[in-house]
Amino acid sequence: MDKPIGVFDSGIGGLTVVKELIRLLPCEDLVYFGDTARVPYGVKSRDTIIKFSLENTLFLLQQNVKMIVIACNTSSSLALPVIRRHFKIPIIGVILPGAKEAVYATKNGRVGVIGTRATINSGAYEQEIKRLDNRIKVYSQSCPMFVPIVEEGWVSDEIALRVAQKYLAPLKGKDIDTLILGCTHYPLLKPKIQAIMGKGVRLIDSAQQVAQEVRQVLIQEGLVSKNKKRPTREFFVSDEVAIFANVASRFLGEKLGKVKRAQHV
Ligand code: DGL
């Protein structure tokens, strides 16, 4: 079907999901919206996150999308159930795909989750994991400083290592064998997180899992785009375009097409 997939995030980070979608579904048209005027969501209240997420969903529906991917872990944790109640098209969040993969991956039944404060306080990952297998022990840790560190481009610096060591120290003592990177930004810190947690801990990148889930839903619902030679990719933000475009290519791993300013916020 020749309609685009809509993706939204609180800002830039959701491009880690777009990157995986492009890799797995290269023929699909995409419309991305990053709420750069109101980022970060990870420190905001449930009501505010739901309000912003509903507005972002309406904006994507105006772009005539066939399904919506909530790339933001914070929005997925707090707003997905509410949004699903209001709209008919398929809407996918990042929590369930990441939780499923963790349940599948763990051998010793001990799983760690890291994310923003709002995500961790919501208990969303823990609930999904327990729903899938209630014998699994879940250990959660919020890492709020990871987001600004990644956006500054300091992922390879000493400061990233120090901050990661501090946040991950409590998890290191819990004998986990699987760790969910429950935030759009954290895949960029993978090498540091892996070095600290050790090779025995499998890192679950929810961006990769969500792309798999999107593919499945497209197939199930008969929404796959066929044989598109030149898929379109549109990027919208709610604040200054130039600031976004600079940092964005780091998340996407390639140069972005034209970025436009959305007027709904
Ligand atoms: N996109 C958010 C998430 O995945 C991180 C940035 C924010 O706090 O808005 O939770």
Q: What is the pLDDT of residue 248?
A: 85
Cβ-contact 1, 66 below 8 angstroms: yes
The question of whether 143 is a catalytic residue gets the answer no
Question: And the tokens for 69?
Answer: 């991917």
The question of whether 27 is a catalytic residue gets the answer no
The burial class, CB within 10 Å (0-12 / 13-18 / 19+), for 199 is: exposed
Q: What is the pLDDT of residue 227?
A: 67
206 close to ligand 1 (CB < 6 Angstrom): no
| 113 plus 42 within the same structural domain | no
Cα 230 to ligand 1 centre (Å): 30
Q: What is the pLDDT of residue 93?
A: 97
| 103 plus 191 within the same structural domain | yes
Catalytic residue among 18, 25, 72, 189: 72
Q: How far apart are CA 265 and CA 88, in angstroms?
A: 23
Instruction: Print burial letters for 7-27: b (CB count within 10 Å at least 16), e (below 16).
Output: bbbbbbbbbbbbbbbbeebee
DSSP class per residue in 224-242: PPPS-SS--EEEEESS-HH
207 close to ligand 1 (CB < 6 Angstrom): no
pLDDT tens for the 265 residues of the chain, in order: 689 999 999 998 999 899 999 999 999 999 999 999 999 999 999 999 999 999 999 999 999 999 999 999 999 999 999 999 999 999 999 999 999 999 999 999 999 999 999 999 999 999 999 999 999 999 999 999 999 999 888 999 999 999 999 999 999 999 999 999 999 999 999 999 999 999 999 999 888 889 999 999 999 999 999 866 789 999 999 999 987 887 888 788 877 878 999 977 6
- What's 197's domain CATH number? 3.40.50.1860
Helices and strands, counts by H and E, the chain: 11, 10
Q: How far apart are CA 53 and CA 72, in angstroms?
A: 10
Q: Which atom from ligand 1 is nearest to the alpha carbon of 119? A: 10
Nearest Cα residue to 180 out of 124, 239, 238:
124
Q: How far apart are CA 176 and CA 181, in angstroms?
A: 13
56 close to ligand 1 (CB < 6 Angstrom): no
This prediction has a pTM of 0.94
| 188 plus 60 within the same structural domain | no
| 99 plus 202 within the same structural domain | yes
Could you list the residue range(s) of the whole structural domain that residue 175 is in? 95-206
Nearest Cα residue to 184 out of 254, 94, 80, 122:
94
| 170 plus 104 within the same structural domain | yes
42 close to ligand 1 (CB < 6 Angstrom): yes
Q: What is the pLDDT of residue 2?
A: 85
Cα 40 to ligand 1 centre (Å): 6
13 close to ligand 1 (CB < 6 Angstrom): yes
Cα 217 to ligand 1 centre (Å): 24
- Within 10 angstroms of residue 166's Cβ, the number of other Cβ atoms is 12
| 122 plus 189 within the same structural domain | yes
Number of structural domains (the chain) is 2
Cα 265 to ligand 1 centre (Å): 18
| 21 plus 148 within the same structural domain | no
142 close to ligand 1 (CB < 6 Angstrom): no
